[in-house]
Amino acid sequence: MTDAQASMEAPGEADRPQMKVSDEVAIQIEKMNKWFGSFHVLRDIDLTVYRGERIVICGPSGSGKSTLIRCINALEEHQKGRVVVDGTALSSDIKNIDTIRSEVGMVFQHFNLFPHLTILENCTLAPLWVRKIPKREAEETAMHFLEKVKIPEQAHKYPGQLSGGQQQRVAIARSLCMRPRIMLFDEPTSALDPEMIKEVLDTMIALAEEGMTMLVVTHEMGFARQVANRVIFMDAGQIVEQNEPEEFFNNPQSDRTKLFLSQILGH
Amino acid sequence: MSEVHAHTVSFVRREMLPEQAPPLTEVGAIKWLRENLFSSWLNAILTILSIFFVYWSLAHVLPWMLGGIWNAESLRDCREIRDARYGEGASVACWAVLTDRWNQLLFGFYPSDAYWRPIGALLVFLAGIAPILFSSLPRKSLWFTAVAPFLMYFLLWGGTIWGPVAVAAGFALGWAVFVAVSRAAGSLAGSIGAIVVPILYWLFLAGPLARTLGEVAPIGLTFVPSDDFGGFMLSFIIGIAAIVLSLPLGIALALGRQSDLLIINKSCVSFIEVIRGVPLIVWLFTASLLLNYFLPPGTNFDLMLRVIIMVTFFSSAYIAEVIRGGLAALPKGQYEAADALGLDYWKAMRLIILPQALKISIPGIVNTFIGLFKDTTLVVFIGLLDPIGLSNAIRATTDWNGIYWELFIFIGVLFFICCFAMGQYSLYLARKLRTDHH
């Protein structure tokens, strides 16, 4: 019962103007519902993301956090509700979806680089074929972002020759080459060795400092504390609690959040 | 000293040991022999038995092959030369059948004054396929690849040059329609237009157009009917045409089988299952006997063309299944990453999915091609004169009645060279496309 109350109160965003970075809405999700078969994975999700916000989404596995961000670029289809990304409402129209996807970058848990292409080709592929940018320009942009993630010297190697951390940084650069206005991160460090997690997080922190709108599904609570201006806790397909990181970690409201935090911070 | 060392725990080495040569049994040829041929008593016995067996076979086969007779008019002639040279009843090959019937084995009954045409077509084929096989060749030469099929058709069958030109123009027309319509009304309308307009053109316009042009400017070669085609030329034409056509068709079927669109999916599945579930020989008989019943009366559809279509369908069903395996082996993340970057379906397939799926499928695809090429010998059953058919015809003549081995060895060797080359190319390609480590 207390949980239900908490989840009723927590998403009330109107009374949290202090969390906004700007007034411009980047993503608007209203009463979104999704089912996998008869399994109700996302229940009445309401979420407004303002331009420049860094949001960390956490929660136990199976709580629907990955599914939530995958609905934003239509990798998963939601069945009920409204999703507006960057002023474009998600519909089943393919053109519409491709437009949104080219504006929203996504970084995956398993990097998903294209193994048959070099690092540089991975980065220039979408700009060349989706944005129709001339090759020279696309390569310059790619090198710019590869320098930004600190691996320009690997440009002519293949993904299979790089370490996990390097591959994930390439994946970030590949997304940035499309000059996205929003970046989604789906557990970007979960498949990495501990010493590689830092290099990827550093890249993400640098990106956040430049004002990129970011939605990050992660269990890296240090990252959340340092970078996020909002932390969302999900359980059983619903947003249970959201707050500024300071408040969220020091003074969690719902019992489930407390339990979750005690489990992941307790060791 | 050593006793002291053995009982104390602390130890300091004062002088380093010099490097020593390994024992004789651990280096070079002796090591190799020991490890591979004489590693145990049983293996030693097997090695000696094998050496004896190889020697025994070669001792019988080599004199037969190398001592063979190359110049004779007939088998009787051959035997007389043999008796004179080696004594009565010696066992030597009579390769003279090959020199005597060389042209026939290669070209069938193709007019002998026009043998340069199939040879030219083969050279055109090699020049056209080279830039596809070896990516280091200049990409500009690909335009020749596009022209090659029409040029080859013209060289082989002859007739007026305007026939192939009019057909080729249909492809150019389709491309033009695709570009124009997809710019105006989207890529789906463009694709439909690019299929419908050329078909209408081929059905109603291409024939009269070629005839008119032929009357205005009669350029051409003597027409050679398909009935005169034979020998290895026939195997090559059917094999190459079916290989070249079945790869794109197989890819299309594999993608169709993966499609979410019910009608496309089901029609691809039924096509694959029906074609694959019936023996090739049945399809060939269908092509030669039954197909004419289904075609409008009066249409005379060239038998060779019918055979090429059937063989193409047959191998494309196998290719589709091989590629489906490659598609299934790709992690789902590759599709998602392509989607997330905003690539549409066709771009994702062309740039991300197919290059990887085809790379995985190379051994299976080449395997299917090798099988297809050898299966072209089945056309002997519907009366086409492929090398096997010709060997039967040659053995039926009074001159060469009673000869077996020489002909079949020759046919086998030629097929082996082609199939072995394909297998080696697939290994080369697999090595070249490896990107995991260098």
| 3 state SS for chain B | CHHHHHHCCCCCCCCCCCCCCCCHHHCHHHHHHHHHCCCCHHHHHHHHHHHHHHHHHHHHHHHHHHCCCCCCCCHHHHHHHHHHHHCCCCCCCCCHHHHHHHHHHHHECCCHHHCHHHHHHHHHHHHHHHHHHCCCCCHHHHHHHHHHHHHHHHHHHCEECHHHHHHHHHHHHHHHHHHHHHHHHHHHHHHHHHHHHHHHHHHHHHHHHHHHHHHHCCCEECCCCHHHECHHHHHHHHHHHHHHHHHHHHHHHHHHHHCCCHHHHHHHHHHHHHHHHCCHHHHHHHHHHHHHHHCCCCCCCCHHHHHHHHHHHHHHHHHHHHHHHHHHHCCHHHHHHHHHCCCCHHHHHHHHHHHHHHHHHHHHHHHHHHHHHHHHHHHHHHCCCCHHHHHHHHHHCCCCCCCCHHHHHHHHHHHHHHHHHHHHHHHHHHHHCCCCCC
Res A9: pLDDT: 42
Q: Residues B336, B265: one domain?
A: yes
Q: Residues B230, B213: one domain?
A: no
| Chain B contact set for A174 (CB, 8 A) | 341
Percent of chain B with pLDDT over 90: 41
The parts of chain A modelled with pLDDT lower than 50 are 1-18
Q: Residues B262, B332: one domain?
A: yes
Q: Residues B60, B187: one domain?
A: no
Choose from A101, A170, A190 for mutation: most chain B CBs within 10 A: A101
Q: Which A positions 120-159 lie with beta carbon below 8 A of chain B?
A: 125-126, 129-130, 158-159
Q: Is residue B76 situated within a structural domain?
A: no
Which spans in A149-212 are helix H? Answer: 164-176, 194-209
Q: Is residue B184 situated within a structural domain?
A: yes
The encoded tokens of residue A60 equal 């136990």
Per-residue pLDDT of B101-127, as tens digits, reads 899 899 988 998 889 999 999 999 999
CB-CB under 8 Å, A75 with B340: yes
Token pair 């440009």 is at which residue? A155
Choose from B261, B341, B350, B429 for mutation: most chain A CBs within 10 A: B341
Q: What is the pTM of this model?
A: 0.83
Nearest-Cα distance to chain A for B182, in Å, is 14
Query: Measured between CB atoms, does B344 come within 8 Å of chain A?
Result: yes
Res A12: pLDDT: 42
Q: Residues B297, B258: one domain?
A: yes
Q: Residues B322, B424: one domain?
A: yes
Q: Is the pLDDT of residue B317 over 80?
A: yes
CB-CB under 8 Å, A174 with B341: yes
Number of domains, chain B: 3
Res B68: pLDDT: 86
Q: Is residue B396 situated within a structural domain?
A: yes
| Chain A contact set for B438 (CB, 8 A) | 161
Nearest-Cα distance to chain A for B356, in Å, is 7
Q: Predicted confidence band at B327 (pLDDT cuts at 50, 70, 90)?
A: very high
Q: Residues B19, B106: one domain?
A: no
Q: Residues B232, B205: one domain?
A: no
Q: Is residue B150 situated within a structural domain?
A: no
Q: Is residue B151 situated within a structural domain?
A: no
Instruction: In whole angstroms, give the CA distance from residue B83 to residue B113.
Output: 37
Res A266: pLDDT: 64
Query: Measured between CB atoms, does A162 come within 8 Å of chain B?
Result: no
CB-CB under 8 Å, B342 with A130: yes
Q: Is residue B72 situated within a structural domain?
A: no
Q: Residues B201, B347: one domain?
A: no
CB-CB under 8 Å, A73 with B341: no
Nearest-Cα distance to chain B for A60, in Å, is 22
Res B4: pLDDT: 52
Query: Measured between CB atoms, does B436 come within 8 Å of chain A?
Result: yes
Per-residue pLDDT of B134-148, as tens digits, reads 888 888 888 888 899
Q: How far apart are the first and last CA of chain A?
A: 29
AA letter at B27: V
Contact in structure between B72 and B94 (CB atoms under 8 Å): yes
* Residue range B211-215: mean pLDDT, rounded: 83
* Residue range B174-188: mean pLDDT, rounded: 83
Domain residues for the domain of B26 are 1-66
Q: Which A positions 233-262 lie with beta carbon below 8 A of chain B?
A: none
Q: Is residue B130 situated within a structural domain?
A: no
* β-bridge mates for residue B159, sequence order: B221
Q: Residues B268, B327: one domain?
A: yes
Res A262: pLDDT: 87
The better pLDDT of the pair A263, B241 is held by: B241
Per-residue pLDDT of B245-265, as tens digits, reads 999 999 999 999 998 889 999
**A with B: how many residue pairs have Cβ under 8 Å apart?**
73
Q: Residues B51, B180: one domain?
A: no
CB-CB under 8 Å, A108 with B337: yes
Q: Is residue B145 situated within a structural domain?
A: no
Q: Residues B215, B243: one domain?
A: no
CATH number at residue B241: 1.10.3720.10
